[in-house]
Amino acid sequence: MNLIALYDTLSISDNDSKVFNAIPIPEYPEFRIAIDFEGNALLLLSVNKRIKDISLKNFRLKYLQLEQNVECKILENNTSRLQTFTIITFRSADRNLQEYFLRISETLVKAIGKNPTQQQVIDSLKRFVEVFKALTDIPTKTVNGLWAELFLIDNAKNPQKLLNYWHSIPEEKFDFNAGAEKVEVKSNSNFERKHVFSSEQLNPPANTQVLIASVFVKQHNSGINIQQLIDSISNKVGSDYTLTEKLSSIVCKTLANSLEHSIGVKFDYEIARQSLQFYRHQDIDKIEKIHIPENISEVRYKSDLTELMPISPTAIKSNGLLFDSL
């Protein structure tokens, strides 16, 4: 399935809001990719039984619009006919965002499948909508930081396991958390091993090992952008739609209203790969928790890792949940 390629075969439809040029998605006959008279990309889901769930309402977000049980005129192979669809319209002419929408739509189509129940359709659509609701929020992290996390997943021996332990909420204290094993990714664009830590990151609970992944990120016109990393990771995790949904959701939540400008920013993958080093939290200079008064919280400080000896994740005795996948 390649919805981008299918979309690119379509020409803009007539000047009518409910007339679409459409093409069926191979192996998924209930779905079509379409284009309207404004050049917007649409995903059409054929409705055999009208969706009546009151919790799934028509709505319009900044980029996304959902309309249920709409009778449309579709043009396929120069033939027109009327049919009832649930319509998801992506309202942006930005090519990077259009491709992002179409890639996420591939996950939605696979998640709903060929013979879904109405409840499966509703649940899948709700998760899909939640991804795009985040696009009006304030970003929770810089594009550099998100790119570094995605790079670590893509560069890992077992991206699927690493993605499984990736934080579901961008604000969590650790980027990857498997209980007793945690990984925090720190990036620097000045080629220095100087990073800002929260007190919690270097003072974890007892019997917990934290690895700090330090990586240099440098913007480069011929580098790799976030969308390309998403594609690479998605290919590596294969048919696990839960993980690909998680991947898209976290990217949207993290970049939020900066997605349009950030998703195409390119960084040098080789510089990141060559610079990647891991450090034990015990070896990094920090303010011991005992020295922080109880009524003071959210303590952050910068530590210099330049003179520290890096360590291989495989050299740490662990339970194999996380470190073995790096």
| Integer Cα distance of 21 and 73 in angstroms | 9
The residue with greater pLDDT, 213 or 38, is 213
Contact between 302 and 269 under an 8 Å Cβ cutoff? The reply is no
Ranking 29-43, 130-144, 165-179 by mean pLDDT, the lowest is: 130-144
Backbone angles phi, psi at 305, to 5 degrees: -100, 5
Backbone angles phi, psi at 98, to 5 degrees: -60, -45
| Coil/strand/helix, residue 246 | helix
Domain boundaries, the chain: 3-136, 143-325
pLDDT value of residue 323: 92
Which element (helix H / strand E) includes 100? helix 95-112
Say whether pLDDT at 210 is over 90. yes
Pairing of strands 209-216, 181-188: parallel
| Integer Cα distance of 313 and 209 in angstroms | 11
Say whether pLDDT at 24 is over 70. yes
The residue with greater pLDDT, 136 or 11, is 11
| Integer Cα distance of 123 and 179 in angstroms | 29
Say whether pLDDT at 98 is over 60. yes
Say whether pLDDT at 120 is over 90. no
Pairing of strands 64-76, 19-25: parallel
The mean per-residue pLDDT over the stretch 308-314 comes to 91
Biggest CA–CA distance in the chain, Å, is: 75
* Band (248; pLDDT cuts 50, 70, 90): confident
Contact between 262 and 141 under an 8 Å Cβ cutoff? The reply is no
Over the stretch 54-95, which tens digit does the pLDDT of each residue have?
A: 556 777 888 888 888 888 777 777 778 888 888 999 988 888
Q: What percentage of the chain exceeds 70 in pLDDT?
A: 93
Say whether pLDDT at 50 is over 70. no
pLDDT value of residue 56: 64
CA distance from start to end of the chain: 30
Q: For residue 47, how many other CB atoms are within 10 A of its CB? A: 19
| Integer Cα distance of 132 and 249 in angstroms | 8
* Band (129; pLDDT cuts 50, 70, 90): confident
pLDDT value of residue 97: 85
Say whether pLDDT at 52 is over 70. no
| Integer Cα distance of 143 and 266 in angstroms | 10
Burial of 218 (0-12, 13-18, 19+ CB in 10 A): middle
pLDDT value of residue 190: 93
Say whether pLDDT at 185 is over 70. yes
pLDDT value of residue 47: 66
The mean per-residue pLDDT over the stretch 123-138 comes to 81
Over the stretch 264-288, which tens digit does the pLDDT of each residue have?
A: 899 999 999 999 999 999 999 999 8
Over the stretch 133-149, which tens digit does the pLDDT of each residue have?
A: 877 777 777 899 999 99
Burial of 93 (0-12, 13-18, 19+ CB in 10 A): exposed
Mean pLDDT of all residues in the chain? 87
The residue with greater pLDDT, 165 or 123, is 165
CA 198 from chain centre, in angstroms, equals: 24
